[in-house]
A and B are shown apart, each in its own frame.
Chain A
Amino acid sequence: MKSQGRTKVLLVKHWMECHDRGVKSVATILRDAGFEVVYIVYMRPEEVATSAVQEDASVIGMSFSTGAYDDHVPVVMRLLKEKGLGNVMVLVGGLIPDEDIDWLKKQGIKEVFGAGTDTNYLIELIKSVARN
């Protein structure tokens, strides 16, 4: 499989979330597409920003099946900026009602994915990070 260079994707899910089939599918799909993928289960949103620094991630994918994005996403976005990672592309996936997508994008989320995602679009979006 051709390597996508330095494009490293950090996938995260909170430790209390029970449904991880989706995020693991994404992990497999991105690995098969040649990206380096790290998956972590976090306790507090602060850990997501810390891990992004440690892993030198270009893309972060946050998975939610239980609706805590309203609490966690603003914290992660603020901390990324504080740590000088404001240009890291952050994606959200999982069980996200369509009516919440605008709010997430206003927080700086690049794209929101849910059940039945077009994986080619996801792969192209992440490839665009390497090109920029």
Chain B
Amino acid sequence: MFDEKTVEQCRKLMKQYDEAIAQRYQGKDFSSTTDSSGIPIKSLYTPLDLQDLDFEKDIGFPGAYPYMRSNYPIHYQFQSWINQPVHGYGLPEHTRERMDKLAAAGMEGYFGGRAYNIVCDVPTHFGVDPDEPDAQGYIGKDGVSCPTFEDFGRMLHGMDLTKTNIVLINGDTLAYLAHFIVYAETQGLKPSQLRGNTMNWQFGAWYAPNHMWEPEGGLKLATDVIWFCSKEMPNWNHTNIQGHGMSESGADAVHQMTYGIATAIAIADSCVAAGLDPDAFMPGIGFQIAQCNDFFEYICMFRAWRKLWANIAHDRYGCKRASSMQLRTHTHTSCFELTKQQPLVNLIRSSFHALGAALSGTTAMEVAAYDEPIGIPTEESAVLALRIQQVIRHETGITKVSDPLAGSYYVEWLTHRMEQEARKILKEIEDAGGFVKAHKNGMLMAELRKHSAQWRRSIDKGERVVVGWNKYTVPEKQVIKPFRADPKVAKVAIERIKEFKAKRDQAKTDAALNALVAAAKRLDKGEYGHIMPACVEAARARATCGEISKTLRKVFKWGPEYTMAVQM
């Protein structure tokens, strides 16, 4: 990449540099490894490390294929990232209070629009209604209890959904999306007018300990959600690949990127096999990316991830649209690296994570609140986390230039190296018979566990310093008051779901659920396009999220035996 004169100069200076080190430090070795992925790191990078790179192919320009430097030629100078703090607790009206407070604190979507990143509680996540025994102890505690379209109404009333971006963080996407669509219908809106995001995790959350779909069935369900959204919801991003979850479960930077891409490939392959046009569904796939402590490594991961994804979209799927090749990213700053000890220090950690994400050119951001290791955020901690984003955007000046770290010998070398590492692992997965097989035989989970155990061991031994945990400790007394949802939530949620069911024509509900069984059987045979309309019809007939999810489980296998994460 550099002319002969520069390379010659570099060689000469490198020799002098090595001699200076030998003289000053008596031959001590200063090379190290990165914290996360174990890539050997030298103490200096120069043009000599980039000699094999091709400028146009390996670095290029922002806004041009393969988009390593940014999706857009002009990025934050024109359009800032979306503020997407995760929020949700208690009853829908409680969550609405937090939505309004964050909006009042300046939480913005693109160009000052409204965007809400709403998380439901775990029962709603997994199709368990509040009146079921399994839900007890969990209602409204870590997210909003929202199992019906009436609950969506309690949360979203008065909002113009054609102009508001609603992210639905939920595990059992089909039932939840169906109820969201039915709520929109009550406002006179069609699915095509809605904008936002579903997670579509029936297959993608393979690293989680929750009961799961049998992988092949989960993949079919995920594909049919994409089928529906590609045809009926052009403004809807249907699928979110949870790199952050993989990171929290133990993946290092290279494996977060690689396993994220491998999950997406499995889904995209399934969509192609179902007959969908890649340029119709690829733009709806996004990645949730964890930005962790090792500052440069995670920036380089991000850049390599954009390039790899563009290459795969172009070469493997023959995509032609730029939006099919551009990596849509929601940054979720690291949580496992935050400490319960001296929790205000987490504000400092998260600021660095968020700065790294902004320097990486992310398109949306959730910054973890400082009380994350104690509970879900209080209003104060949630607003402070938003303030981190606002300070970076308005005060640091880093938004003036696209991909400002490009051209750093270290950054370009590490980006390239991480791309090479990821390609190796992607090939290993292909060689193992593809992602589904690698997932089922435990290969992926074993890697996550290995790395998480190494991380913990290095802290316990004091090899890795965590400020306030294993060094610079002080006697702790927890002064932070943990956030707690209103204790009456469970009682009200149970009353509401009973009331919701009491208002229905049971024969009509039963018929809709029977029709859903028939649609599920068709999907099981490989006939796509019937299941989401059947879910919407069931929601119209006032079948709850829990009832719709459990109906699907009559046809598609679901249960603890598919929870690979439990295997030790």
Contact = CB atoms under 8 A, between A and B. Distances in A.
Contacts of B265: none
Contacts of A17: 122, 209-210
A99 B341 contact: no
Majority-rule SS of B interface residues: loop
Given A16-B128, A67-B137, 12 more contacts: A16-B125, A16-B138, A19-B248, A21-B250, A21-B452, A41-B560, A44-B133, A66-B142, A68-B137, A71-B138, A99-B478, A114-B340
Contact of A98 (B126, B134, B478): B478
Nearest to A44: B133
A29 interface: yes
A119 interface: yes
A10 to B, nearest CB: 13
Given A17-B122, A27-B568, A68-B141, A95 B478 contact: no
A15 B249 contact: no
A13 interface: yes
Interface in B158-178: none
Nearest to A115: B340
Interface of A: 13-21, 24-25, 27-29, 37, 39-41, 43-44, 66-72, 95, 97-99, 114-116, 119
A9 B107 CA distance: 46
Interface string B440-454: 000000000100110
A18 B568 contact: no
B563 interface: yes
Contacts of B113: none
Nearest to A37: B568
B72 interface: no
20 contacts: A15-B126, A15-B560, A16-B125, A16-B134, A16-B210, A20-B209, A20-B249, A20-B565, A21-B248, A21-B250, A24-B452, A28-B453, A39-B568, A66-B122, A97-B482, A98-B478, A114-B373, A116-B340, A116-B341, A119-B460
Contacts of A39: 566, 568
Q: Please list the 8 inter-chain residue pairs (A to B) with the smallest Cβ-Cβ separation, ordered nearest first.
A: A71-B137, A68-B137, A115-B340, A98-B478, A97-B482, A16-B122, A20-B209, A28-B453
A18 B209 contact: yes
Given A16-B125, A67-B142, A41 B568 contact: no
B553 to A, nearest CB: 13
B456 A29 contact: yes
B497 interface: no
Interface string B525-568: 00000000000000000000000000000000000100101101
A131 B538 CA distance: 59
A44 B211 CA distance: 13
B384 interface: no
Interface in B390-411: none
Contacts, number: 102
Contacts of B142: 66-67
Contacts of B514: none
Contacts of A25: 452-453, 456
Contact of B373 (A13, A43, A95): A95
Contact of A115 (B373, B477, B482, B565): B373
Interface of B: 122-123, 125-126, 128, 133-134, 136-138, 141-142, 208-211, 245, 248-250, 336, 339-341, 373-375, 449, 452-453, 456, 460, 469, 477-478, 482, 560, 563, 565-566, 568
A19 B563 CA distance: 13
A99 B205 CA distance: 33
Contacts of B138: 14, 16, 66-68, 71
B376 to A, nearest CB: 9
A95 B374 contact: yes
Contacts of A71: 136-138
Nearest to A95: B375
Contacts of A99: 478, 482
B208 A18 contact: yes
Nearest to A119: B460
A74 to B, nearest CB: 10
B209 A15 contact: yes
A18 B245 CA distance: 9
Contact of A16 (B123, B245, B566, B568): B123
Of A16, A28, A37, A114, chain B has the most CB atoms within 10 Å of the CB of A16
A97 to B, nearest CB: 4
A21 B456 CA distance: 10
Contacts of A41: 209-211, 560, 563, 566
Nearest to A38: B568
Contact of B141 (A13, A40, A67): A67
B566 A40 contact: yes
A118 B536 CA distance: 50
Contacts of B449: 24, 28
Given A15-B209, A20-B565, A99-B482, A70 B137 contact: yes
B375 A97 contact: yes
B390 to A, nearest CB: 28
B225 to A, nearest CB: 20
